[in-house]
Amino acid sequence: MSIEKEILQQIVPDETQRELVNKTVSRLIERVRNEASKIDLRLSVQLVGSVAKDTYIYPPDIDIFVMFPPEIPREEMERKGLEIGRKVLDGEEHYAEHPYVRGMVNGLKVDLVPCYNIKDTTHLKSAVDRTPFHTEYIKNNLKENQKNEVRLLKQFMKGIGVYGAEARVEGFSGYLTELLVIYYGDFKSVIEAASTEWHYGIELSLVDGRRGKFDSPLIFYDPVDLNRNVASALSVDRFALFIHASREYLREPRMEFFFPPPRQPLLLEEIEAMIERRGTSPLIVKMKKPDVIDDNLFPQIRKTLDGIGALLKKAGFEILDSAYHVNEKVFFIFELQSSALPPTDLHRGPPVWSEHSERFLSKWRSGPFGRPFIRKGRWMVLRRREFCSAKELLINRLEQASLGSEFRRLEDLKLEEGREVFTEENRKALSTLLDKRMGWEF
Amino acid sequence: MSIEKEILQQIVPDETQRELVNKTVSRLIERVRNEASKIDLRLSVQLVGSVAKDTYIYPPDIDIFVMFPPEIPREEMERKGLEIGRKVLDGEEHYAEHPYVRGMVNGLKVDLVPCYNIKDTTHLKSAVDRTPFHTEYIKNNLKENQKNEVRLLKQFMKGIGVYGAEARVEGFSGYLTELLVIYYGDFKSVIEAASTEWHYGIELSLVDGRRGKFDSPLIFYDPVDLNRNVASALSVDRFALFIHASREYLREPRMEFFFPPPRQPLLLEEIEAMIERRGTSPLIVKMKKPDVIDDNLFPQIRKTLDGIGALLKKAGFEILDSAYHVNEKVFFIFELQSSALPPTDLHRGPPVWSEHSERFLSKWRSGPFGRPFIRKGRWMVLRRREFCSAKELLINRLEQASLGSEFRRLEDLKLEEGREVFTEENRKALSTLLDKRMGWEF
C-alpha cells in the first residue's frame, strides 16, 4: 500500500466522525437561524470553511457566518453578531477585523462570525465578506475525488510546518491548498510542480482577466477577487521549505513527512560541544512574553529579532545565524562569529568635495588614531570602536534598536553571552537555533 | 608682500635662466633643422611645450618636435626621427606610443620627438600629433599676465603632490593647468572654484560644440579636440586632494603649500606605538621591483595592491588602510582590523528553488558545523574558514590573486605580519601608511 493511501486512512474522517460533525453543524445552524430571526428577518446563516467544502481533517473548525444586509451599519452588525453568538455559544469573544464568538460544541471548535451579504466581491465591506465566495467557489470547482487530495496536501504541509496563514506560521491557508489541487489536479502534481517549476514570484491563476501586481514568493490570484493574492501571508522561507520538502519527499517518500516524530531538544552537553566545535559566540536576549494574541505577537517577535540583528550588524558584529523561541518568555538567540571585536574601526566619511566635508574634518582632524585620509575621493578615518563587546552594545543601545512595540519596555530583560547561555532554561531555545533537522531527516 | 608674490620671486625664471634656455633652444632648433633637411626637405621642426608657451618653472624640459608629412609611413617616420635625434643629442632612446630621443644639453633635459604634421586633430595619426595644437592654442589664448598665474598653479600642485599626468602621480598635466587659468582667469580663481564648485564629474569647456561622455572626476574638454578629456589621467584621489588643499590654503595661506618641508619618516618606536594604540594588524608583502618604466610600473603596483586587497577581503579580512612604497623593492602594506579570523564562516548558497540547490545540498548536507538552513529563501551553511590567518592565506593563494603582470612571478616574495614588520627596512613603507600629514599640516 502506498504511503499516501496509508496517510489517507488516518486523516479522512470516518463515519462516526462525519456523523458527529454533521449533527453538530445542523443543530448549530438551526439554533443560529432561530436566534437570528428573532433579531432581524433579513439575516441569513451559512456554513463556510472546510466543513462546508468537505476538505477537513478531523477534528475540524466549524465556521458559521451570519450574513447581514449591506445597508445595516457596521456597528449594529457587530453588536447583533455578538448577541447571536453569545446566545448560541457559551464562548469567548474574539477580535479579528471585527468581533466574533468562539466556543466549543461536542468537543469541536466553533466560530460564529457576522459578515455582510454582498452581491459580489467588488462590494466588499469587510475582509471576511470574501469567505462565503471562497466556499462557494471550491464547492463548485473542486471535484469529489480531489477532496482527499486536499487532505493529503494539508497533512503534508502540517507535517513539514508550513500549514496555516496565521502570523505564527506564515504558511499556506486551507483555501490555498484547495486552489492548488484544483490547479494542478492532485497532491502529487502539486508537489511535483513545486519541486521543478516553482521559483520566487511564480504566478498562478485559475481565471483570466485583470490582475494586481504583487511582490510575493507565490502569487495565486483569488478567482473570486483578482486583486487579491491568496498566498500573500506566505513567507519566502515557508515557500522555500515547501519546495525543498517536496523534492525530498519525491526522492524518498516517507510517513514522517506527514507525521514527523516529536522533536527532542538537544542535550546541554551536545549544545556546548557544537558551539565549542564551531568556535562561535552565542548571545541570548530574553524578555517577558507580551500578553497579546499570536497574530500580533509573532510579527513583533520577528521585527524585534531583525532590529537587534541590525543593531549588532551596524556595530560590526557578524551574525552567522539567529532564531527565536517562545514560552512564558521570548528568547532572541544569535550566533555571532565573535562577540568581541578589535578596538579600531574604519569610519567612512563624506566625499571630499561635499558640503559635509568641513564638519567631518573638524570632528576628526585630531583623532587619537591618526588623521583623516582620502580613499576613492572620500574621507576616511580610523576611530575607536564604541563597543567591542556585543553584550556591552546591547546593554547600552538595545532601547534604540527597532523593536516590536510590545518589546520596547524591555520588560524582565536578561542578556547572556558566551558560556553563560548554557543553562537548562535556554536549552530549547538553543536547540531551535542549532538543530536544523526537519522531522523527516535523520 | 603676499605669499603668492614671494613664491613668484622664486619660480619665475630670471634673466640668466631665460637666456640659457633661449640660447639652448635656438641652437637646438638650428641643429635639428639642419639634420632634418639632410634627410627629407619636407620635414619641419617646432618647439612645443612649456618653453614655447613661456609657462615653465626653471629648469624646464625642452620639447622639440620633428614633423613629418602624413604620407610617410609610420615605420619610416620613427626610424628617421630616431636618426635625427641620435645625431643631435647624445641621448637615450625612449618609447612612449612611439620612440623618441632624450638627452641633456646645458644641464637641461631635451626631448626630441617625431610626429605627423596634420591639418587638424580629426586627422590624428599618433597621440603626440595633438601637442603642437595644444601649444598653439595656449600661445593664442593665454594672456601675458596669466603666464605667472600658471606658474603659481603648477608650483602649488607640485607642492601638494598632484602635478603631472604620468602614472606615478595621476595628477594635473601642464596643459590642464594652462587651460584652468584661461578658464578661471588666475591662480586664486582656480583654487576658489575648486574649493566651492568642484564635485565629482564636473565638466568644463572653453568652446561650445559636440562633446564626448566621460566618467572622470574632472572633465575638461580639449579645445583642440572635443572628443578628448584633458583631465583623463587625473585620479579621484588627486582630484579630491587638490580640492582639500585649495580649501585649506584659502583658509590659511602658507608657503608650505608650494614648498613643503621634506618629510621625515616616523621612527620605528613611533610606528610601533601607533599600531599598538590602534590594536590593528600590519601586513607587508614585498617583491623585487620590476625593471620597467614608471608609466608601466605604477599602474601595475596599484593593480597588485588592489588584487591582494580583494583576496584578503574575500577571505573575510577587514582592511582598514593600505599603501605602497617603492625603492629597490616594492612594498604592499596593509593595516588589517585583525590578521586572525574566527574558525567559522557563514556560507551563502543558492536560492532554494534554483537548479543549483541540489549540488549545494549534496556538498554540505553533512557538514561538520551543522546542516544547511534556509534564510530569506536561500540556503546557508556554517563552514570551517579555509584560512584564519592572513599570512597563511597569502602563502597559499597569493598567486591566484589579480596581480600586475610583472608581479605574477612573485620574485623575491617576502611576507611579514604583526610585530615582524617593525624593521628598519620597512620604516619608510610603514611611514607612508601611517603618517597622513601633508606638507602643509603640522
Taking the CA of residue B178 and the nearest CA in chain A, the distance in Å comes to 22
What would the pLDDT profile of B31-71 be if each residue is shown by its tens digit? 999 999 998 889 999 999 999 999 999 999 999 999 999 99
Identity of the residue in A320, A351, A436 whose CB atom sits nearest the CB atom of B346: A320
- Please say if the pLDDT value at position B418 is more than 70: yes
What would the pLDDT profile of B350-373 be if each residue is shown by its tens digit? 999 999 999 999 999 887 888 999
Yes or no: say if A417 and A281 are a contact pair by the CB < 8 Å rule: yes
**C-alpha pair distances (Å), B245 with each of A46, A213, A349, B155, B258:** 81, 53, 17, 13, 11
The whole-angstrom separation of Cα B38 and Cα A376 is: 53
The whole-angstrom separation of Cα B230 and Cα B179 is: 9
Walk along chain A (442 residues) and give the pLDDT tens digit of each residue.
689 999 999 999 999 999 999 999 999 999 999 999 998 889 999 999 999 999 999 999 999 999 999 999 999 999 999 999 999 998 888 877 778 999 999 999 999 999 999 988 888 888 789 999 999 999 999 999 999 999 999 999 999 999 999 999 999 999 999 999 999 999 999 999 999 999 999 999 999 876 778 999 999 999 999 989 999 999 999 999 999 999 999 999 999 999 999 889 999 999 999 999 999 999 999 999 999 989 999 999 999 999 999 999 999 999 999 999 999 999 999 999 999 998 899 999 999 999 999 999 999 988 788 899 999 999 999 999 999 999 999 999 999 999 999 999 999 999 999 999 999 999 999 999 999 888 777 5
Question: If pLDDT is split at 50, 70 and 90, which confidence band does B111 have?
Answer: very high
Yes or no: say if A229 and A220 are a contact pair by the CB < 8 Å rule: yes
Question: At B364, which helix (H) or strand (E)?
Answer: helix B357-364
Q: How many CB pairs under 8 A join A and B?
A: 134
What would the pLDDT profile of B324-336 be if each residue is shown by its tens digit? 999 999 999 999 9
- Of A197, A194, A193, the C-alpha closest to A243 is A194
Q: Determine which of A353, A380, A382 to mutate to test the interface with B (most B C-beta atoms within 10 Å).
A: A353
What would the pLDDT profile of B170-226 be if each residue is shown by its tens digit? 999 999 999 999 999 999 999 999 999 999 999 999 998 767 789 999 999 999 999
Which residue in the block uniquely carries the three cell numbers 500580533? A296
Identity of the residue in A277, A344, A373 whose CB atom sits nearest the CB atom of B436: A373
What would the pLDDT profile of A348-384 be if each residue is shown by its tens digit? 999 999 999 999 999 998 878 889 999 999 999 999 9
pLDDT at residue B372, as a whole number: 94
The whole-angstrom separation of Cα B64 and Cα A208 is: 79
**Which residue of A lies nearest to B350 if distances are taken between CA atoms?**
A240
In terms of phi and psi (left: phi > 0; alpha: psi -120 to 50; beta: otherwise), the region of B163 is: beta
The whole-angstrom separation of Cα A433 and Cα B369 is: 13
pLDDT at residue A29, as a whole number: 96
Cβ neighbours, 10 Å, residue B6: 12
Yes or no: say if B361 and B335 are a contact pair by the CB < 8 Å rule: no
The mean per-residue pLDDT over the stretch B163-168 comes to: 96
Judging contacts by C-beta atoms under 8 Å, the chain B residues touching residue A337 are: 341-342, 344-346
The whole-angstrom separation of Cα B74 and Cα B2 is: 52
**Which residue of B lies nearest to A344 if distances are taken between CA atoms?**
B278
Yes or no: say if B62 and B45 are a contact pair by the CB < 8 Å rule: no
Under DSSP, is residue B252 helix (H, G, I), strand (E, B) or coil? coil
Identity of the residue in A217, A352, A376 whose CB atom sits nearest the CB atom of B377: A217
What 8-state DSSP symbol labels residue B163? Answer: B
In terms of phi and psi (left: phi > 0; alpha: psi -120 to 50; beta: otherwise), the region of A404 is: beta
pLDDT at residue B210, as a whole number: 65
- Of B107, B153, B201, B133, the C-alpha closest to B8 is B153
Q: Give me the DSSP letters along A80-111.
A: HHHHHHHHH---EEEESSSEEEEEEETTEEEE
The verdict on a CB contact (< 8 Å) between B342 and A346 is no
Taking the CA of residue B284 and the nearest CA in chain A, the distance in Å comes to 19
Decide if A441 touches B, using CB distance below 8 A: yes
Scored b (16 or more CB within 10 A) or e, B169-180 reads bbbbbbbbbbbb
**C-alpha pair distances (Å), A187 with each of A86, A192, A246, B43:** 40, 9, 11, 89
The predicted complex's ipTM stands at 0.90
Identity of the residue in A199, A342, A436 whose CB atom sits nearest the CB atom of B353: A199
* Cα end-to-end span (Å), chain B: 24
**C-alpha pair distances (Å), B66 with each of B53, B82, B88, B256:** 18, 10, 12, 40
CA angle A416, A419, A425 (to 5 degrees): 60
